[in-house]
Amino acid sequence: MVGGNYPHCEDIDVISGARILSVGWDPEVRYDIHIGDSKIKNIVSQSAGPSSYTTRKVLDASNCLIAPSLCHAHIHLDKCFLLSDPEFADLEITKGDFDEAMEITSKAKVRFQRNNLVKRGRWLIAESIATGVTHMRAFVEVDYIVRMKCLDAAIELKKQFAAACEIQICAFAQEPICSGTQGAANRELMEAAVFNEHVSVLGTTPYVESDEENVKKNIDWATTMAADRGVHLDFHLDYNLDGSRNTCADLVAKQLESMTLYQRNRPSSKKLTVVLSHCTRLTLHSEPDWQALSQRVQNLELYFVGLPTSDLYMMGKPHNHEGGGERVRGTLQIPQMIQKYGIQGAIAINNVGNAFTPYGSCDPLSIASMGVGLYHAGTKQDARLLYECVSNRAIESIGDTSRPFTIGESADFVLFDLGGSESGLLSSQRGRKTLQEVLYDPPKERKTIFRGNLITT
């Protein structure tokens, strides 16, 4: 690592003797994966015996499992680790609700400085890469409090880690942009931010507006601005469990129907997507509601991203404020939405170490593992789908194409160092041989390969 800050990238020509965990590949066979110009050139079975390479740069996979790399489809870069940073030690959680989380975050934002933003951002990116993350959509707030501080820090981090991870920056309005005393100022700053060459996503939070009319104005402004700029669109939406309130997901989908920019399979070299995150109110939908939504989104590049750690924490406060009270929880049932209704989706971490989500790590696979119990998804097919929701489906949701282990595709992998040695001190360690075992109990030791380079941070 250069100067203790930058990732180290080691060029690889061949990954030798790996067992591929992906559809269409025999996990009992060892393969050599040949790489050139950052892409997969060829995949050759070792069925006739191990290959010998003398002059090429070879990574010996030693019979370990290799899988598609991981992706943060939704993560906040600027407000990570606030609860563990001594600079914000006085900002403690006492209630644990959304209003307090907003208040704590606003107080922290007043103190944000470039060095601190970059420091905490490096923590998040480095820890994420170590788990196998090669792509992320990073949200950074733009408003009257921080102005462009968070965006400037994200641009610096994007450049520093360009050789190790594809960081997609989302200029994000957590504060109102259509109501309140600072709405106009926030909107003006967002309009400037979205035209920054390093910003490829526009994100807003319609539910923080003062009333339903301004919620619709928020959505109208965001869709118009994103279309004019030609960028991806990302809404934090319908974050409640109140059956008396209307949902906005249908409103967004209806608005997108007349916008060719976000149509699926449109002829263009650039894929643009719209993501709807949280959407916990949709968990109260009836079967006819789901069928109608499914029909509406079929021709759209529209994805739903579930954020279970944040959703379960924010939606989990008992109604009577006593420990034994009823706790109504809600998070999008992403596997069911994909399998039953044909709706595109993924799952993501959202926050790490702040008042919105105090617990959890930077590992997307931990969310997929939690999904086994959360979604009652324990079959082999479920394991494959949950892994896809933090790998290739997540990458697709943020607008990149991902066809795992396909000739010509980017060489982005995570190699699981599984233990299970037959001799020596490691002989008692339990090896993992299937994707199910990896998902049920994710291995800690991993190697990340991004565009044909072995990454260490």
**CATH code of residue 51:** 2.30.40.10
Does this model's pTM top 0.75? My answer is yes
Q: How far apart are CA 372 and CA 381, in angstroms?
A: 11
Phi first, then psi, for residue 35 (nearest 5°) are -125, 140
**Are 159 and 275 part of one and the same domain?**
yes
Q: Where are the alpha helices (DSSP H) in 315-455?
A: 334-341, 364-374, 380-388, 392-397, 435-440
Q: Are residues 383 and 414 in the same domain?
A: no
* 286: its two tokens: 């009836």
Q: 425: helix, coil or strand?
A: helix
In terms of domains, do 331 and 385 share one?
A: yes
Is the separation of the CB atoms in 290 and 297 below 8 Å?
A: no
Per-residue pLDDT of the chain (457 residues; tens, 9 = 90+): 333 456 899 999 999 999 998 888 988 899 999 999 999 999 999 886 767 777 679 999 988 899 999 999 999 999 999 999 999 999 999 988 888 999 999 999 999 999 999 999 999 999 999 999 999 999 999 999 999 999 999 999 999 999 999 999 999 999 999 999 999 999 999 999 999 999 999 999 999 999 999 999 999 999 999 999 999 999 999 999 988 998 999 999 999 998 888 988 777 768 899 999 999 999 999 999 999 999 999 999 999 999 999 999 988 765 555 555 566 678 999 999 999 999 999 999 999 999 999 999 999 999 999 999 999 999 999 999 999 999 999 999 999 987 899 999 999 999 997 654 444 444 445 667 788 999 999 988 899 999 999 998 7
Examine the domain organization and report whether 174 and 279 are in the same domain.
yes
Q: Say if residue 124 is in the same domain as residue 272.
A: yes
Decide which of 397, 412, 427 is a domain's last residue.
Answer: 397
DSSP 215-243: HHHHHHHHHHHHHHHT-EEEEEE-----T
Same-domain pairing of 418 and 388:
no
Compute the distance between CA of residue 413 and CA of residue 451 in angstroms, rounded to an integer.
9
| Domain-terminating residue out of 397, 419, 437 | 397
* Residue finishing a domain among 353, 382, 397: 397
CATH value at residue 101: 3.20.20.140
CA dihedral angle for residue 52, residue 55, residue 56, residue 60, rounded to 10 degrees: 40
Same domain? 118 vs 94: yes
Claim to verify: residue 29 and residue 122 sit in the same structural domain: no
Complete DSSP assignment for 246-277: PPSHHHHHHHHTT-GGGBTT-S-SS---EEEE
Range of the domain at 62: 2-69+404-456
Type of residue found at 203? G
* 61/115 same-domain check: no
Rounded Cα distance between 252 and 9, Å, is 41
Instruction: Say whether both 201 and 56 belong to one domain.
Output: no
- Note whether 334 and 249 are same-domain residues: yes
Calpha distance 193→134 (Å, rounded): 25
Same domain, 373 and 447: no
Q: Within 10 Å of residue 106's Cβ, how many Cβ atoms? A: 14
How many structural domains are present in the chain?
Answer: 2
